[in-house]
Structure 1
Amino acid sequence: MDFTVSVLLGTFLLSIAALFIFIWSMSKGLFGDGVAAATEIFGKNELGTVEDPAATALQKGGLQRAMGAVDEGMSAEEEEIRSRADRSTSLVVGVCLTLAVMWLVLASLAGLISSIKLHSPDWLVQYAWLTFGRIRPIHLNLVAYGWCSLAGIGVAIWLIPRLLKTELVGAKYALVGGALWTVGVFAGVVAIAMGYSDGLEWL
């Protein structure tokens, strides 16, 4: 067993152990009361509140009544806090999700090519980077590191300031991180296409 497989296996076993520790701690109540935690995350009158950023105040009121809500929802101050948090993350989230969708489209194209090659192995064999042994890892890496990772980062950057009721500080660093991540994904795909790979999937 080589070093890479050992590291992957060790990481997997460590994550399984951590999962069992987490389940045990939840069963013992070490993370506190769930209801109390919910009141920290959600503001007063926020539960059951219809949220549609594109709706006017009148439309929101109509939606609230249609949902059977009895209160008026969040206060103007709470809505302003949420709006400021959303504005502070909008550029970073937009860039991350746009890049993620771009990688998803390219990954889908690579997946389509590799799928066709399962039925017609001689298709596009004149191009080394389009052989099955290279296009399949390109597809998998674009899905895992391009689409899933950047989409997850974008959603996390959107959620955390919203839940913590604060603005995102240092958005430029998140943009630089997203750009570096994209450059890394691109470099990895080019390296796989050029044949610099050990043939193992997901690496």
Structure 2
Amino acid sequence: MTNPDYTFEQAALDRGFTYIAGVDEVGRGPLAGPVVAAAVVLDTNNIPDGLNDSKKLTAKKRDALYDAIMEQADVSLAEATVAEIDEHNILRASHIAMVRAIAGLGQPTDHALIDGNMVPRGLTISTETVVKGDGRSLSIAAASIVAKVWRDRHMVDLAQQYPGYGWEKNAGYPTAVHKSGLENLGVTPHHRRSFKPVHNILYQE
């Protein structure tokens, strides 16, 4: 498996675009917490070494790269809340977060490389979807790292307020510890009520 490179970004530059953002989201699968998206525009002359799909990196490497990306790139983070996830559905909520992240960049981007195969509704700029983009595009890889580290840290903070669900380790994903916490401690304001394991506990016969 090859590592991500700058091919997609360079192709967009060659077509006349000037400010190209990689966009990715994290947190579709958890039972708790927001879905978080990041948009990253890399500095062509200052790209951190070792960028890759965040899932392929150690936590220590992700943390180091997070700091480097935040320092060397234009980065915007955004989320869709648990209430928005329950109101719309997780796919739509993740797209809302992506649109917000793109809008929050330091200067307007004219082309976005979106991880996945769907363009979020409401984007008025040029876009390109890249399936498995976090393993193919350096900008999307950077966005995947930033979004994951930020969300993981957010879930650690929430775990201090709501101990017993293991969020500091499982980031809200449905592990045995998390499910046991749901059964024994009940549903918190940060749980996604539209997700079946949470819904089932709320509406047990």
TM-score (norm 1): 0.21
Larger radius of gyration: 1
Name the structure where helix makes up a greater proportion of residues: 1
**RCO (CA 8 Å, sep 6+): is it higher in 1 or 2?**
2
Name the structure where strand makes up a greater proportion of residues: 2
